[in-house]
């Protein structure tokens, strides 16, 4: 299924809370809960989200897959801005929320973690088997020969060609890029694939691009195997995440959502809480002895 922005849903509905921390702990005590995490889990690590309280959506629109593939100037703009923002992503550290998820995973309360995030912070916190629904910024893929390589390798090459654009001091956006003066973009030199000279793209799913079918099917199987679904820090604005909430409900699995703002899945949730994720998840892990 293609990832696209749901611009018709503005997220202005008030949040109606249901249940409380006790109900959430009761759900997790059943064990075999599947987590679906979004950008709100990483805001405490200094990475902004798109549609949260401090989200960037109104001032920043991510590049679409169609733009990237069709327009060399768009690719130049993307890589200039991404090169400037990569240090901010690479320096980010897992926060207490990521560590609490790993504690709950390690104790068996969570059977799987699916993340919409591309920052790699679940893995850095120890959840090595977290499924990256939208890929990861730490890898790049050649659109011609399909070779995958590490982002650090590309970063070194871009640095040799263009210097340290990350010294611009601009704020990093959720997809890892920053705003740059046009003169830096115009003069930016893009590095080709070292294997075939082809076009490199970050190994992430852009808006307008399909999430790989086998990855989606794997996530469906994880939801099937779980006893409940817990959504953490996602507005569920794009269907790539919302479909798993709808699927869980179809299967009769209870859904819990913890998010600071309204979500498109609120009407499906048996438990709906507005809490700071780091403190809330740490408290749950402590309570459950994880």
223 pLDDT above the threshold of 60: yes
57 pLDDT above the threshold of 50: no
> Is 117 labelled a binding residue?
yes
40 touches 49 (CB < 8 A): yes
pLDDT digits (tens, 9 = 90+) for 30-45: 889 999 999 999 999 9
Both tokens of 156, joined, read: 């070194």
pLDDT bucket at 7, cuts 50 / 70 / 90:
very low
- CATH number given to 21-287: 3.40.50.1220
pLDDT bucket at 214, cuts 50 / 70 / 90:
very high
> Mean pLDDT over residues 72-83, rounded?
95
Average pLDDT, the chain: 90
104 pLDDT above the threshold of 70: yes
With a pLDDT cut of 90, the percent of the chain lying above it is 78
> Is 95 labelled a binding residue?
no
> Is 193 labelled a binding residue?
yes
> Mean pLDDT over residues 241-269, rounded?
97
> Is 118 labelled a binding residue?
yes
Domain range list for the chain:
21-287
pLDDT of residue 169: 54
Q: Which residues contact 249 (CB under 8 A, 6 or more apart)?
A: 255, 268
pLDDT of residue 56: 45
Q: Per mean pLDDT, which range of 42-51, 148-157, 253-262 is the poorest?
A: 42-51
pLDDT of residue 50: 60
Q: Which helix (H) or strand (E) holds 258?
A: strand 255-258
pLDDT digits (tens, 9 = 90+) for 119-138: 999 999 999 999 999 999 99
Q: Per mean pLDDT, which range of 3-7, 71-75, 169-173, 187-191 is the poorest?
A: 3-7
Active site residues: 134
Of 157, 133, 160, 287, nearest to 220 by C-alpha is: 133
5 pLDDT above the threshold of 90: no
8 pLDDT above the threshold of 50: no
166 pLDDT above the threshold of 60: no
pLDDT of residue 51: 53
pLDDT of residue 191: 98
Strands of 200-204's sheet in order across: 148-150, 135-142, 200-204
> Is 162 labelled a binding residue?
no
Both tokens of 69, joined, read: 């593939």
> Is 259 labelled a binding residue?
yes
Strands of 271-273's sheet in order across: 131-132, 110-115, 33-37, 228-232, 255-258, 271-273
Q: Is 20 exposed, middle or buried (0-12, 13-18, 19+ CB in 10 A)?
A: exposed
């Amino acid at each position: 299924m293609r990832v696209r922005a749901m611009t018709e849903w503005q997220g202005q509905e008030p949040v109606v809370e249901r249940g409380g921390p006790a109900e959430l702990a009761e759900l997790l005590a059943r064990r075999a809960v599947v987590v679906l995490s979004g950008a709100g889990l990483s805001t405490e690590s200094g990475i902004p989200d798109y549609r949260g309280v401090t989200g960037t959506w109104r001032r920043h629109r991510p590049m679409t897959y169609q733009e990237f593939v069709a327009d060399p100037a768009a690719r130049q703009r993307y890589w200039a801005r991404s090169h400037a923002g990569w240090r901010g992503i690479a320096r980010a550290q897992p926060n207490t929320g990521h560590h609490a998820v790993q504690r709950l995973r390690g104790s068996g309360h969570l059977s799987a973690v699916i993340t919409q995030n591309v920052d790699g912070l679940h893995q850095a916190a120890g959840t090595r088997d977290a499924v990256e629904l939208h890929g990861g910024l730490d890898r790049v893929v050649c659109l011609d020969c399909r070779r995958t390589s590490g982002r650090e390798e590309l970063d070194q090459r871009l640095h040799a060609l263009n210097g340290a654009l990350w010294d611009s001091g601009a704020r990093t956006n959720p997809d890892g890029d920053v705003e740059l003066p046009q003169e830096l973009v115009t003069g930016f030199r893009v590095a080709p694939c070292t294997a075939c000279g082809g076009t490199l793209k970050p190994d992430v799913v852009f808006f307008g691009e399909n999430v790989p079918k086998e990855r989606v099917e794997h996530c469906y199987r994880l939801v099937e195997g779980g006893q409940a679904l817990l959504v953490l820090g996602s507005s569920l604005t794009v269907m790539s995440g919302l479909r798993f909430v709808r699927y869980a409900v179809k299967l009769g699995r209870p859904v819990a959502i913890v998010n600071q703002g309204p979500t498109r899945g609120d009407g499906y949730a048996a438990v709906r809480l507005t809490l700071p994720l780091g403190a809330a998840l740490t408290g749950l892990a402590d309570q459950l002895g994880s």
